[in-house]
Chains A and B, each alone.
Chain A
Amino acid sequence: MSTSTSTFSDDQPLIVGYVPDKSTERKEHPLAAIIRNASESKAHENEHLGAAWGAKKAIRKLEWFGDSEHERVVYALWFLTSDFIKFAQRVKDNRELKPTHTIRAFATGGGALRLQTEIKEMLGVELVIVEELQALTNGWRVDAESLADSEGPVAYPSLVCNVGTGVSLVSVGAAHGDYERVSGSGLGGATFWGLVQRLTQFTSFSEAVTAAELSGDPGQADTLVGDIYGVETSKAIGMPADLVAGFLGKLGEGKATDADVVAALLRMVTNNLGQLAVFQARLMGVNEVWFTGGFVQSASEAPDDNVGRIVRQAIARAVSFWSAGAIQTRFPPDALLLGALGAVATSLDSFSQAM
């Protein structure tokens, strides 16, 4: 049996996750082959396209969702949502994937509803829409529980802070379907990227973030305590001169380089995330926050990417700052895949619940 699921959102790639059945598990799945071919042929294609196409294999337990197997191999493929037509064309052209009957697929993400008709028409696949936060929290549960053996059991309720286009803070309880969006913010990944695009010459996320890490000095763009009081007075009144008084407050002075600006924007967005997450964690009485979403693990990169590491470190710093070290920052191993993983899990869950 094969369940294919998809997650769509606008700034994250469309991700197809699936659990192959026993007979096909050992050889390369035709869908994976399409992705591999696309990324290998990137020299001939639009480079941007190739770079954003990828695949990953992981071993996960889905027992909690009613899966009969102890462990499963889960595959994930990704490509930009805007490349959907190209991807669909290749699937259509692939003889091995010619469906003999209507396939139902569990889908989630903002774009799922929008592309529902197109997918039905082009691929004959009928989408079962999984509510986005349900997919996210189910995916998080699968991923977080996979760490239980090595890092101890997952505590419930947990606070999951999903940073994609915007930000959702979700409280996840122990029971099936027990989750609540307790807070959120419009100041998220898309704000960072939108501002980077408007304020600098960078055209790629990884290029911008890497440059910020290498040579960016956020203090050139931020108004610091020292800028207001002077370094000497700051000392006299007991405030560090390099403490930020106003994020990006010096932008108008024109001294900041592009790398400085990105570094300042990253500090602003992650700092704010950390603050919201810490306050919410305190209100819930938990001592750790899980961060997920495309901003935490940049989609165009390999899951162990450098850019993701920079962002994750910035978030961890902010959480540590606002909680004075009392609240831990945690990242699930496959933050990128959670939506698709969760849709897969939901399909199993809904099947087992129906029984």
Chain B
Amino acid sequence: MMFGSINSSGAVIDCIAEGSAYDIVLPNQTERVQNIAVDIGGSLAKVVYYTTAAVGRQGGGRLHFKAFETDHLDLCIEFMCGLVDRSRIRDPTDGPPAEPVIMATGGGAHRFGAELRSRLGVEIRVVDEMESLTAGLNFLMREVADEVFTYSEARGQKFVSPVSEAEDLFPYMLVNIGSGVSILKVTGEGQYERISGTSLGGGTFWGLLHELTGVTSFDAMLETTKSGDNTKVDMMVGDIYGTNYDKIGLKATNIAATMGGVYRKGLDKQYSDADIARSLLYMVSNNIGQIAYLNAQLHGIRRIYFGGYFIRGHPLTMHTLSYAIDFWSKGMISALFLRHEGYLGATGALLRGEAAPTRRRACSFTENFSVAEPAAGDSSGVSALGMLDQQADRLERLPQLALPYVPDTVDLAADEGQRLAWLAALERSAHELVALVERGALDAGSSDHVGTEDRVDAGRIRAFSILYARHLQRLGAQPLAYGALTVRGILGLREQCLREVGLGDVFAAVKRRETKAALVALPQCVAQTDVLAERERLLALLGNALAGNMFDWGASELHGALASGALDLAAARERISYSPQRLNNPGAFADRVIAEGYRKVLVFVDNSGADVVLGVLPLARVLTQTGATVVLAANSRPALNDVTEGELKDIVAEAALVDESLAAAVEEERLLVCASGSAGPCVDLRRLDPRLVALAQAADLVILVGMARAIVSNYHARFTCDSLRIAVFKNKMTADAASANVFDSLCLYVPGGGSRE
């Protein structure tokens, strides 16, 4: 495996830099194990387990995925022994942990049940295979952002937007291809029926190919198919008719009969093992595709998911299944595949347990790729799975979001120029982060009261840099390894890697320092705009918000100025060119505020320091003066120097101490701070903290502040209410994507329901 080094074989990554070795323990990899499930199939044994922090990380749990060859079940059992031990870790705040129960499914659950029981010394509870598969699929489809995809040779892998509503999810058909093929119809949670199947599946392919070619491993067989030419062993339509058979829509290149050419002396076909392998792969895939389609027709189902060991990410297999479904449905239905297809059963079995994490309360999961495993049995090695981090709340969609919604502005997998530029820029910025840490630039200044937690550990930051660089390299080589490739995804991954090496908030001290300085400047800043007439005041406030947005540690272009403290609001204003016109209409916004005002404004804020204190707060203050209630949505968890919910609450409280107008707004609960639900610099407006969604119900204006929230993501988002974007194009990639220049501004007001351009 090309990038096997990213996989966590243990809880340690070895980092060798500048001649010295660091052993960095990944703290989150040694947490207490709460639930264990195993799916023992004919070829692979898949383990899914759920961990929680030994000392209560709030609501946070994590699902892990791990696969073993069934032939080496010993390794799997050994691994599970370790998990059972970790399940007995005592939580000081809790009573003794409950005796572990292992949920088991798959054919091997019966066969190896007794062995598991005796060797692990715990209770093994067997869950029905079909029940596990469907429970797992329902869960993964809902919770994993890039779970479902279509595949064809011409178009490659295309991810399908996740569905959250039950009516969009059901009914569907799951075609599970193992030794044989099971076809399940799923009409709801826990409602499924095996409607059909065939015994002509992976086992047939395996048996025939083994006997015909002597190849003994499944992967070797699949490898062989890549170079094979089935037309050398198959009877093609062209072999019979010499041409297309147009009347019935058969092309000369269609297969008339699999293996029908091997005995035809007249055709004198010369063939190799690889040709037979490809022919048989086509036979089995085509046939399954056809039977699946016929079943879908009979049951009036339009969504067909394919899973099981036979597929294992093998492009040619997926292509053939897709081709068959496309052919028979005349392009009306696409075959759907799953990134976690190998883990459906184990995941479902885990969720069927009485102590399953999803049973306790509503929650959401986010895939965390900082420690990524190759997808179970993924023969092509291009797909990897992260861990699933649990949030204590069920994330929800912004009610004012117009559909369809795609959060990301650029698809980096499709746009090579943007991809290379972003990957290079992000790698550079990681190096710069290391340099900043080594210079002590991110530590608190000497005048501050400095706790040791404020000193960013240089060893850890180097470990981060190595871990993150490996991910960037992998994504450079295999852009779809972690699902759809977007700037939002990579920026999120960066935060995940930082947290994974134990660096929760590297900018904590910087943020405090800058916020403190900005709060000092706040009264004067407010006084300067308060003297202006209403329209000029609004325009000046928008200008300040843009200028504040220059105080961004995420922008490499500004590190020097930020670190030296040379950037003040006035200087920042100077660097922005307030163009192009098509992206800037602050006057229209001001007129709208003056004419009607807003009842409730939702602001997605960006950086701490000058940005939020001198840019956003004064604007929010004036809006509250016009009678609006303003909800400031800040990150739930740290990302770059973005202000977090907790920090912003403190900022608002401190600002209220020096400004009467703000104090009144806070007092009257017309200035509120709420967590956005986001843990990265970008925002996915389908996944917001439910408290924020509740507050947002009556909002008639949404303001998106900053490059990550307004340009890199949500640039194309449309809203049913008015919206305002405030950001500066601070690098070439974002400027290019919008046909703008670096340091151009985006101050764009869009009335509700309208499109941006």
Partner-B contacts on A (CB < 8 A): 9-11, 82, 110-111, 113-114, 131-133, 165-166, 168, 181, 183-191, 193-195, 197-199, 221-223, 228-230, 233, 236-237, 244-252, 268, 271-272, 275-276, 279-280, 282-283
Contacts and interface: CB of A to CB of B under 8 A. Distances in A.
A114 B241 CA distance: 7
A195 B203 contact: no
Contacts of A237: 110
A191 B179 contact: no
Given A188-B257, A191-B283, A246 B204 contact: yes
B259 to A, nearest CB: 3
Contact of B290 (A111, A133, A183, A268): A183
Given A228-B107, A279-B294, A190 B257 contact: yes
Contact of A114 (B235, B242, B286): B242
Contacts of A131: 247
A165 B240 contact: yes
A170 to B, nearest CB: 9
Contact of B287 (A114, A193, A236, A272): A272
Contact of B200 (A181, A193, A247, A251): A247
A193 to B, nearest CB: 7
Nearest to B212: A198
The 3 nearest A-B residue pairs measured at CB: A246-B203, A190-B260, A249-B203
A11 B243 CA distance: 18
24 contacts: A10-B240, A111-B240, A166-B256, A183-B290, A186-B256, A187-B200, A189-B257, A190-B258, A191-B258, A191-B260, A195-B259, A198-B276, A221-B207, A223-B180, A245-B180, A245-B203, A246-B180, A246-B206, A248-B203, A249-B206, A251-B207, A268-B204, A275-B291, A283-B294
A11 B265 CA distance: 11
Interface of B: 42, 107, 110-111, 179-180, 196, 198-204, 206-208, 210-212, 216, 233-235, 239-243, 245, 247-250, 254-266, 276, 282-283, 286-287, 290-291, 294-295, 297-298, 328
A91 B202 CA distance: 51
A9 B753 CA distance: 64
Contacts of A193: 260, 263
A283 B296 CA distance: 11
Listed residue (A110, A190, A221, A223) with the most chain B CB atoms within 10 angstroms of its CB: A190
A113 B257 contact: no
B207 A246 contact: yes
A185 B283 CA distance: 9
Contacts of B203: 223, 245-249
Contacts of A197: 262-263
B210 A252 contact: yes
A184 B247 CA distance: 14
Given A113-B241, A191-B283, A193-B263, A165 B256 contact: yes
B290 A276 contact: yes
B212 A186 contact: no
Given A9-B240, A229-B110, A198 B259 contact: yes
A188 B268 CA distance: 20
Contacts, number: 176
Contacts of B42: 228
Nearest to A203: B263
A195 B280 CA distance: 11
A233 B295 CA distance: 30
A279 B196 CA distance: 10
Given A245-B203, A271-B199, A186 B258 contact: yes
B257 A166 contact: yes
A280 B294 contact: yes
A199 B199 contact: no
A82 B215 CA distance: 35
A276 B291 contact: yes
A132 B240 CA distance: 12
A197 B263 CA distance: 7
A14 B254 CA distance: 24
Contacts of B240: 9-10, 110-111, 165
Contacts of A272: 198, 200, 287
Given A183-B290, A187-B283, A194 B261 contact: yes
Given A186-B255, A221-B207, A245-B199, 20 more contacts: A82-B266, A166-B235, A183-B328, A185-B286, A186-B260, A187-B257, A187-B286, A190-B257, A190-B259, A191-B257, A194-B233, A244-B180, A246-B180, A246-B207, A247-B203, A249-B206, A252-B216, A268-B200, A268-B204, A271-B199
A330 to B, nearest CB: 21
A187 B207 contact: no
Nearest to B181: A246
B122 to A, nearest CB: 21
A276 B260 CA distance: 20
Nearest to B280: A195
Contact of B211 (A191, A251, A280): A251
Contacts of A245: 179-180, 199, 203
Contact of B234 (A186, A222, A282): A186
A185 B259 CA distance: 13
Listed residue (B202, B212, B250, B263) with the most chain A CB atoms within 10 angstroms of its CB: B263
A133 B247 contact: yes
Nearest to A244: B199
A246 B205 CA distance: 9
Contacts of B262: 194, 197-198
B207 A10 contact: no
A301 B207 CA distance: 32
B298 A10 contact: no
A252 B212 contact: no
B280 to A, nearest CB: 9
A252 B260 CA distance: 22
Nearest to A243: B199
Listed residue (B42, B249, B290) with the most chain A CB atoms within 10 angstroms of its CB: B290
B278 to A, nearest CB: 13
Contacts of B283: 186-187, 191
B211 A10 contact: no
Contacts of A223: 179-180, 203, 207
Contact of A249 (B204, B242, B257): B204
Contacts of A11: 260, 264
A216 B198 CA distance: 22
Nearest to B294: A279
Nearest to B276: A198
A190 B283 CA distance: 13
Listed residue (B207, B258, B291) with the most chain A CB atoms within 10 angstroms of its CB: B207
Given A246-B180, A246-B201, A233 B111 contact: yes
Contacts of B298: 279, 282-283
A11 B248 CA distance: 21
A168 B249 CA distance: 12
Contacts of A114: 242
Nearest to A254: B211
Contacts of A229: 107, 110-111
A221 B203 CA distance: 11
B551 to A, nearest CB: 64
A201 to B, nearest CB: 13
Contacts of A233: 110-111
A133 B297 CA distance: 25
A278 B200 CA distance: 16
A254 to B, nearest CB: 8
A248 to B, nearest CB: 4
A199 B213 CA distance: 11
B173 to A, nearest CB: 13
A245 B291 CA distance: 16
A168 to B, nearest CB: 7
Contacts of B242: 113-114
Contacts of A194: 233, 257-263
A165 B241 contact: no
B268 to A, nearest CB: 13
A247 B198 CA distance: 9
A187 B291 contact: no
Contacts of B210: 251-252
